[in-house]
Structure formats: structure tokens, C-alpha cells
Amino acid sequence: MNIDEGRKKLIVALDVESREQALDLVEQLKPWAGMFKIGMRLFYSQGPALVEGLCRRGVKVFLDLKLHDIPNTVSQAARILARLGVAMFNVHAAGGRAMMRAAVESCREESTALGIPRPLVIAVTVLTSIDQPAFNRELGLSGPILDRVVAWALLAKECGLDGVVASAQEAAAIRQSCGPDFLIVTPGIRPAGAAGGDQKRIVTPAGALAAGASHLVVGRPIIAAPDPVEAARAVLDEMGANV
């Protein structure tokens, strides 16, 4: 894998609160990452203006707000996210068929009307902070996590979504069930020797790609490192990119 291929697969999570921190990380890391994830912490702190500003500068943004509501509400939210110019956003697969279809259809309509590329829409399956005991006992869901993740991935594909967010531990089964073009975005990525933190179902960069992941989301191991650029280069090296 060359550096350009590796870069396209790496999504850096901007898990910070301030605009200044976010912009500084983007400036440092844009040669090494293909996309930047803005989650609830940064979005709720800085709002849509930061997202729109980055998009206008040509930065690819994955807006990780995990939309989960009635279909009409998610439909209208998806239109707004399309207007912001994000490259990708997500919804919860647990919201069901009607909600997921509403997100994709309204997003497509809005993008067509504006003459802009449609954002990729992906579905969150089971959070990587959830392990098997919590899945069964706390969430009250029966059976293995793997079975539910694959079922939701197949439902997302049926609804016209571009892919899913899932642990790399389920990536091989999703890839087998959903085919080669389905996106599998994997958080819970920890370089060899890194602490897991609050993530339970974690995998190394190389392991995630070997399992079939299309994109890796890496936050704290890069942005909390003494040298974020060197940390990003190390992740790319573990991915097999020729850094």
C-alpha cells in the first residue's frame, strides 16, 4: 500500500472542544489523513460554522452525530448536513428501515438540488464500547454481537446506505455478507502497545485492514500524542503504507 492509499483510509477523530485545537490538528495532519471526524463534543461546542468552514476549505469531514429519531426528523437533519458539505455522516441502524431510507433519500434530493456530491451515509451498528455481557444484560439483546451487527449491516445496505460503523472484530463477516464495495468504518483502533481506554472491542490498524475494514478512525492515539504528526505516520506505517 502506498502513502496515498493509506492516507485515504485514515480518519482522524478531532476529539477536542476548541476551534483553535481543531484547526491546529487539521493543519498538522491533513497531509497524513484523508478525512477528519467531528463528533458530538466538538460539534456541540463549536456548532455547524466550524464544519462548514472546514468543508469550504476542501477538508473532508465525517460528521459523527449518530442521528436516531423518527424518520421525518432525521430526513430534515440529513438535508441540513448535505448543505453543510460534509463528506460523510452517520445514523443509527437501530432506527430502522424507514428512518435509514429517509436519511439517504432526503440527502440525495438536497444534494441534487444544490448540484453538489451526495455525502456518504453510513449506519452505526453496535458501539465499540459495548462488550458481550453489556450487549446481553444491559441492552437486553439476545445472541452474539456479531449476529446483530451483520443483520444491521445487511439492513443498511438494503436501505441504500453506503456502509456501516462497526468494530473491526466484525469486519470480516460484514465484508463477506455485504460485498467488496460496502464501506466498513472501524473505530476502536489502537496501535500496538496503546491503551484501550473506554473501548472494549479494539483492533490494531493492520488487523482492521486485514479483516476487511475500508476506513480506520483513530483519535486519542494520534491527537493526544506528544507529536501528533509522528503518531499519524506510525499508524500509517502499521497500516502498511510506505511512509
Q: How confident is the model at residue 98 (pLDDT cuts 50, 70, 90)?
A: very high
Using the 8-state DSSP alphabet, how is residue 116 labeled? S
**60 annotated ligand-binding residue:** no
DSSP alpha helix (H) spans, 159-201: 171-178
Pairing outcome for strands 61-67 and 88-92: parallel
Q: How many residues does the chain have?
A: 243
Assess whether pLDDT exceeds 80 at residue 201. Answer: no
66 marked among binding-site residues: yes
How confident is the model over 41-59, as a mean pLDDT?
A: 97
Q: Which three cell numbers stand for residue 59?
A: 477538508
| Residue 242: predicted pLDDT | 58
The mean pLDDT of the chain is 94
Q: What is the pTM of this model?
A: 0.93
Catalytic residues: 66
Rounded to whole angstroms, how far apart are CA atoms 136 and 140? 5
**Per the annotation, does 4 bind a ligand?**
no
Residue 115 grid coordinates: 448540484
| Alpha-carbon gap, residue 191 to 163, rounded angstroms | 24
pLDDT category at 196 given cuts 50, 70, 90 is very low
